[in-house]
Structure 1
């Protein structure tokens, strides 16, 4: 656990969570969708670890990176067509191989019982996000669910975070962002929020180097860390 010295860490009124790599390990499903798209164009499949490194920035960026990694980069209308083809494929691969990350249900139950408002902010499309959260019966914990197509600008812009906080009626300085990537750090900083990153998510850079206020092994580690920090305040 690393605590940043940039700002004090206080018990938040609300916690916003990223989805992919934070609440769920969705990389196998995302890889299956990518490979179905590539196979339709006669291209070889990519490994799950390859696809995991491409996650972040929305489905459009994922498609662009996948074709580039396959040696057949797309631009312009060809990329737009591939994105249109990806939409129904992506929706078929949401929960078949996806699993909860360690400690998720325990952590959300804890915060819910203690009266902490919670929301999910992700670059994944809104309907796909809701389907995953419903599948894992997590919606009952959440007062806000904001997908990438619900805002003008994706993370690392602060739009999704600010919209979720508006729905939760909590100010940014009273809230905490929990994610796994540089996009989560950028969005939190732009929104004026402290940010915690979890190890084991989807980042191409070591999580300790991304500038978070706190780095934890899992959401269960976040619980104990916050309790310790609160007791020391």
Structure 2
């Protein structure tokens, strides 16, 4: 009997610090937001300690960093201020990381599916990718408010895989932070880390299955190797 053909894999990307270099626009919108409280601006060096859980947590962390912890009722208007500024200035100076578009073209040409799983608000993720004319690459784009749970909860990634029409046994997660590597581990999916994002620790300390330093390294051969090796490891 002829074996069934192997189903093309699904490659799931984080957004900020993985797909896109968003740091300039995040810092500008965050500083615009906390200026309403007369707080000292944050810098790029601060950003690695602030991002990863969406706008609400980023604002809370920035205020705490500046010695101004927020009461719960003070947060909603600040989130609205951040979203209005960020969305109103898209795409700003945000750009895909070098080699990303060519890598996605490579994968798509081989029938691979692509998705985004980010803790950024879904509306902001969709708006930003649309402004950069990248939406067409993805079979699903989910944000931190798409479901009732977010990374590192495994259900954020498994829900994204389902929406993209993928198979969890044929999926890989790529990210720059602890949440990305953790959600892959929690979901039982191999992970690829990138060191050029916003992690506040070296990505090799997060325990990814593989690290790439440039998207030129993201090939179908690498994806297949990771899926094969991960399945073998789990089976032991």
TM-score normalised over the length of structure 1: 0.88
1:145 aligns with 2:141: yes
Deviation at 1:209, TM superposition (A): 0.4
Counterparts in 2 of 1:91 and 1:181: CA distance versus 1, 3 Å = same
Counterpart position of 1:128:
124
- How many residue pairs get aligned? The number is 223
Deviation at 1:224, TM superposition (A): 8.1
Q: Separation in 2 of the partners of 1:26 and 1:95? A: 9
In structure 2, list runs of 5 or more residues that go unmatched: 1-5, 230-236
Counterpart position of 1:5:
none
Q: Separation in 2 of the partners of 1:31 and 1:116? A: 34
Contact 2:34 2:59 in 1 (8 A): no
Structure showing greater relative contact order (alpha-carbon pairs closer than 8 Å, 6 or more residues apart): 1
Contact 1:94 1:128 in 2 (8 A): no
- Deviating beyond 4 angstroms after TM superposition, the runs of 4 or more aligned structure 1 residues are 227-230
Contact 1:32 1:93 in 2 (8 A): no
CA RMSD of aligned residues (A): 2.3
Q: Separation in 1 of the partners of 2:48 and 2:221? A: 28
Counterpart position of 1:6:
none
Q: Separation in 2 of the partners of 1:118 and 1:211? A: 23
Q: Separation in 2 of the partners of 1:75 and 1:136? A: 36
Given candidates 59, 62, 79, the residue that maps to 1:63 is 59
SS of the residue 1:148 aligns to: coil
Contact 1:12 1:176 in 2 (8 A): no
Given candidates 108, 111, 118, the residue that maps to 1:112 is 108
Given candidates 168, 182, 205, the residue that maps to 2:201 is 205
Farther-moved stretch of structure 1 (154-163 vs 16-25): 154-163
Given candidates 7, 11, 18, the residue that maps to 2:14 is 18
Farther-moved stretch of structure 1 (58-67 vs 34-43): 34-43
Q: Separation in 1 of the partners of 2:9 and 2:224? A: 17
Deviation at 1:58, TM superposition (A): 1.2
SS of the residue 1:163 aligns to: helix
Q: Separation in 2 of the partners of 1:32 and 1:61? A: 16
Given candidates 25, 46, 62, the residue that maps to 2:42 is 46
Counterpart position of 2:233:
none
Deviation at 1:227, TM superposition (A): 7.5
Counterparts in 2 of 1:224 and 1:141: CA distance versus 1, 3 Å = closer
Counterparts in 2 of 1:85 and 1:183: CA distance versus 1, 3 Å = same
SS of the residue 2:98 aligns to: coil
Q: Separation in 2 of the partners of 1:150 and 1:157? A: 13
Q: Separation in 1 of the partners of 2:216 and 2:35? A: 39
Deviation at 1:225, TM superposition (A): 6.7
Contact 2:173 2:191 in 1 (8 A): yes
Q: Separation in 1 of the partners of 2:154 and 2:86? A: 25
Contact 2:87 2:127 in 1 (8 A): no
